[in-house]
Amino acid sequence: MGDAVTMEKIVSLCKRRGFIFPSSEIYGGVGSTYDYGHYGVLLKSNVKSEWWRAMLQDRDDVVALDSAIIQHPRVWEASGHLAGFTDPLVDCRTCKLRFRADHLDQSACGRKPSKHPGDFADCDLTGARDFNLMFETTVGPVKEEGATVYLRPETAQGIFINFKNVLQFSRKKPPFGIAQVGKSFRNEITPGNFVFRTREFEQMEMEFFVPPDEAQKWFEHWLGERERWYVELGIRPDHLRLRAHEQDELSHYSSATSDVEYLFPIGWSELEGIANRGDFDLGAHAAASGEKLEYVDTASGERYVPHVIEPAAGADRATLAFLVDAYDEEQVEGETRTLLRLHPRLAPVKVAVLPLVRKDGQPELAREVYADLRRRMQAEYDEGGSIGRRYRRQDEIGTPWGVTVDHQTLEDRTVTLRDRDSLAQDRIAIDELGDELERRLRAPWTSPKLAAA
């Protein structure tokens, strides 16, 4: 079984099964902007919950934060984003299109036959100008001077400007972290590849504050932790790698960055960045605001500006990677079965309860089973259409288990429990069903695509 996945198949399944749709479709859509439907919301919410679990529940040195999207404009001055968060752009005076100056060899001129910008004799490119990626808006009813604010391009700065607040209430001392999940906005010049790069996206970022001489140790710690997180949630290890940034790739704040990369259908691409930000941000905000952003040990009197290690992930990009890694096709009885082999903890729906036929008391009993299971986990009841069609639908949304109520259930209160991956069907008593599913949900899981490769 080869890897059947392509980006087109993912886009099509997401639309067909209500995960993700192009936004504003009834008005013709807005480029590279997407809305999440029911199953997409459940899947992405599970991705975020697993991230929170890894940050907060599985350790005791990270606390949570939810800061505002619109912050004081001086935040972005101090952070370096107003001056440095730019891409170089060139305009073509002939075809009126705009290109990233550093991506001309990957861009297509608007005219036919397909050529790169600058390749036609009459291409007339301007010099490169820096274009800031932050979205601007105004606060208050009048567009006056001083009313310009920005939609945050990363959640991280909300953490740095709250360093003092958190230090006071959390009773933590370095090494400790502050974690945040939320929307960020970037006026990307070349968005694309579905939800891989959009202008509005969710980040999952954690700033880990450490004594300066421990920075390298914690940088390595977080590289390992973050790679492990993806593997534990089912991403095939051979589709995951760490790649250290070259010196000329580093962001203005970083002394070292490594990306966790995933082998998307578009090739190896960044899934998450882990950066050593040093004392750049706390130092910059302290200088600009006049507030001391440092740690003082009350016992020893020692004071220092902590260094920061930052694992910064994208919730949408991670969701896309989990979808891509899970997508599979196999031949069953002469037909192609399409399914998402998602880790059960990520699957939008954990169990579907299906009466075999819509008569003989089966729907009533199935609804009873469903009412019991939905108290424990995300469950779905479906009685419409043939049993085969209902299974196919559940396979495509990645539901790991299907419970079928049949004529035997009415006699002995047992049901069949179908496994999405192996297609094994076990007979099990209704009374044991909830406990058995919870046991399976807690069990370690690896992708069956690994064994098949």
Smallest gap from Cβ 364 to ligand GAP, in A, equals: 46
For residue 113, cis peptide bond before it (omega within 30 degrees of 0): yes
Residue labelled with tokens 């082998």:
263
3-state secondary structure of 6: coil
Q: How far is the CB of 345 from ligand GAP (least distance, A)?
A: 20
Q: Cis bond leading into 141, ω under 30°? A: no
Select 227 or 272, whichever has its Cβ closest to ligand GAP: 272
What would you report as the CA-atom Rg of the chain, rounded to the nearest whole angstrom?
A: 25
Query: 263 or 349, CB closer to ligand GAP?
Result: 263
- Which tokens sit at 353? 């309860």
**For residues 170 and 297, what is the distance between their CA atoms, to the nearest angstrom?**
15
Question: CB neighbours of 260 closer than 8 A, spacing ≥ 6?
Answer: 226, 227, 230, 240, 241, 242, 270, 271, 272, 273, 274, 313
The nearest distance, CB 251 to ligand GAP, in angstroms, is 7
**Nearer of residues 281 and 406 to ligand GAP, judged by Cβ:** 281
* Number of other CB atoms surrounding residue 15 within 10 Å: 14
Q: Which residues bind ligand GAP (CB under 6 A)?
A: 154, 156, 186, 188, 197-198, 201, 203, 205, 270-273, 310, 312-314, 316-317
Asked if 19 contacts 39 with a C-beta cutoff of 8 angstroms, the reply is: yes
Residue 107 or 184 having the CB closest to ligand GAP:
184
Query: Which residue, 182 or 344, has its beta carbon nearer to ligand GAP?
Result: 182
Question: How many other C-beta atoms lie within 10 A of the C-beta of residue 288?
Answer: 13
Q: How far apart are CB 302 and ligand GAP at their closest, in Å?
A: 28
Q: Which residue is nearest to ligand GAP (CB)?
A: 314
Residues 19 and 14: their CA atoms lie apart, in Å, by: 5
CB of residue 193 to ligand GAP, shortest distance in Å: 9
Q: Which is nearer to ligand GAP, 48 or 418 (CB)?
A: 48
Identity of the residue, 180 or 414, whose beta carbon is nearer to ligand GAP in the bound complex: 180
Nearest distance in Å: CB 254, ligand GAP: 9
Q: How far is the CB of 82 from ligand GAP (least distance, A)?
A: 16
CA 27, distance to chain mean position in Å, is 27
For the chain, helix, strand, coil in percent to 5 are 35, 30, 35
CB of 157 to ligand GAP, least distance (A): 8
Its sign, for the CA torsion 47, 52, 53, 58, is positive
Please spell the DSSP secondary structure of 332-351, one letter per residue.
ETTEEEEEE---TTT-S-SE
Quote the CA–CA distance of 398 and 296 in Å, as a whole number: 50
- Residue 87 β-bridge partners: 131
Residue with tokens 């037909």: 335
Q: Which is nearer to ligand GAP, 310 or 380 (CB)?
A: 310
Q: How far is the CB of 120 from ligand GAP (least distance, A)?
A: 30
Nearer to ligand GAP, 33 or 94 (CB): 33
Beta strands in 317-424 (DSSP E): 327-332, 335-340, 351-355, 379-381, 401-405, 414-419
**Residue with smaller CB distance to ligand GAP, 273 or 355:** 273
Quote the least distance from Cβ 36 to ligand GAP, whole Å: 13
